[in-house]
Amino acid sequence: MRTRRALCASIPLIAAAAALGLAAGSAAAQGAPKLKVGLMLPYTGTYAALGTAIENGFRLHLAEQGGKLGGREVELFKVDDESDPAKATDNVNKLVKRDQVDVLVGTVHSGVAMAMAKVAKETGTLLVVPNAGADAVTGPFCSPNIVRSSFSNWQPAYAMGEVVANRGHKKAVTITWKYAAGDESVKGFKEAFEKNGGQVVKELNLPFPNVEFQALLTEIAASKPDAVYTFFAGAGAVKFVKDYAAAGLKKTIPLYGPGFLTDGTLEAQGADADGLITTMHYGDSLNTPRDNAFRLAYAKAYKLQPDVYAVQGYDAAQILGIGLTAVKGDVAKKAEFAAAVQKARIDSPRGAFTISKAGNPVQDIYLRQVSAKENKVIGVASKALADPARGCKAS
Ligand code: PHB
């Protein structure tokens, strides 16, 4: 990344290039200004590892493309959003107003992503969401300049509702953080679980990113449900899985959730995660040529195993590349960008997927089980699952 000083020094050059007629319309031409991409991700806090994995994945695809997307050399600008919705609007404006980025990529936390979506809608800036599942991003906020490379909160949750009901469980307790991702995950689970004969008897919550689970675990033990459904991720998921086992619940009440519970967390969770069943649009044992090549390249570049977040970052760059190639690097052509992305088949390590009219992946949701520190794929919970995109006028 260049420093702020270096960036300021290059602004007159960009202005001069524009004056010479090298405007965005002919951006693919030699000498086109760099494409400024703003990465707004958590680099501190409970989701810090997720932000890093997304950036790693994004950079890997970019490197494979020789540092260019849509014919334009890419320059990255970074902001740590701390997964803090209260700072989100200021943070996104650092990228949009101060750095004048052409494209926003972010973020992990649904509440922060909503602030990004609002700014993207108001300013027309292209936004690629590489994780946050906030249903509204591809619901009421859907827009040709907003696309997601990850999932909606509804998707893995709905798939899990069917799985838990089909496994014969009747009464479930849910436990999550009280914010959009937790609320929508529980809602999606409940919709499918209750449609298939189950009943959610209690919904437990604690504020994000609190990890004092003890009182709630005691309440679960007292309720004696057939199953527990949970949404936690990052460092919070590590602690929850360990605390659930330490409370003796793992032996008596099966725990289910979207795969964030066990993705990027297995080293830290150790044996306490063994056997957990989750639903997710990625897994560690797909063993396809595409995924094997991705995993090898990622491990070589970062000395780390990739996870679902790395894949979403990689695919965010792929989607940007597809859209920008179609508009020859001209970010102002939003309708054409969206049309190209919606026509494409994204060749993802997770398996090929498409993008809906609302801008959300239509993708297989795998059933996975933890064994030997891997999220092993044991089936497909839901084939080509599309988010219902409730409230999106484009869908
Ligand atoms: C979200 O806030 O939407 C979110 C955060 C972390 C995850 C998944 C979803 O792993």
Assess whether the C-beta atom of 133 lies below 6 angstroms from ligand 1: yes
Check residue 322 and give its pLDDT: 98
Write the DSSP assignment of 60-129 as a string of letters. HHHHHTTTEETTEEEEEEEEE-TT-GGGHHHHHHIIIIIS--SEEE--SSHHHHHHHHHHHHHH--EEEE
| Domain extents in the chain | 10-151+287-359, 154-280+368-385
pLDDT in tens, 257-284: 999 999 999 999 999 999 999 999 999 9
Check residue 32 and give its pLDDT: 80
How far, in Å, is the centroid of ligand 1 from the Cα of 192?
20
Q: In this structure, are residues 151 and 181 in contact, taking their beta carbons and an 8 Å threshold? A: no
Check residue 211 and give its pLDDT: 98
Mean pLDDT of the chain: 93
Check residue 30 and give its pLDDT: 55
pLDDT in tens, 286-331: 999 999 999 999 999 999 999 999 999 999 999 999 999 999 999 9
Q: pLDDT band at 206, cuts 50/70/90?
A: very high
pLDDT in tens, 57-82: 999 999 999 999 999 999 999 999 99
- Number of alpha carbons in the 13 Å side-chain half-sphere of residue 276: 35
How far, in Å, is the centroid of ligand 1 from the Cα of 133?
6
Instruction: Give mean pLDDT, residues 364-380.
Output: 98
CATH number of 10-151+287-359, picked from 3.40.50.2300, 3.40.50.300, 3.30.590.10, 3.30.465.10 = 3.40.50.2300
Q: Probe ligand 1: pick from 52, 84, 107, 110, max atoms within 8 Å of CB?
A: 110
Which residue from 227, 274, 217, 287 is spatially nearest to 253, judged by alpha carbons?
Answer: 227
Check residue 394 and give its pLDDT: 78
How far, in Å, is the centroid of ligand 1 from the Cα of 83?
10
29 vs 188, residue with greater confidence: 188
Instruction: Give mean pLDDT, residues 201-228.
Output: 98
How far, in Å, is the centroid of ligand 1 from the Cα of 369?
20
Q: Examine domains 10-151+287-359 and 154-280+368-385 and report if their fold is the same.
A: yes
Check residue 280 and give its pLDDT: 98
Assess whether the C-beta atom of 236 lies below 6 angstroms from ligand 1: no
Assess whether the C-beta atom of 260 lies below 6 angstroms from ligand 1: yes
Q: pLDDT band at 10, cuts 50/70/90?
A: very low
How far, in Å, is the centroid of ligand 1 from the Cα of 43?
14
Assess whether the C-beta atom of 281 lies below 6 angstroms from ligand 1: no
Whether 18 has a pLDDT exceeding 70, the answer reads no
CATH class of 154-280+368-385: alpha beta
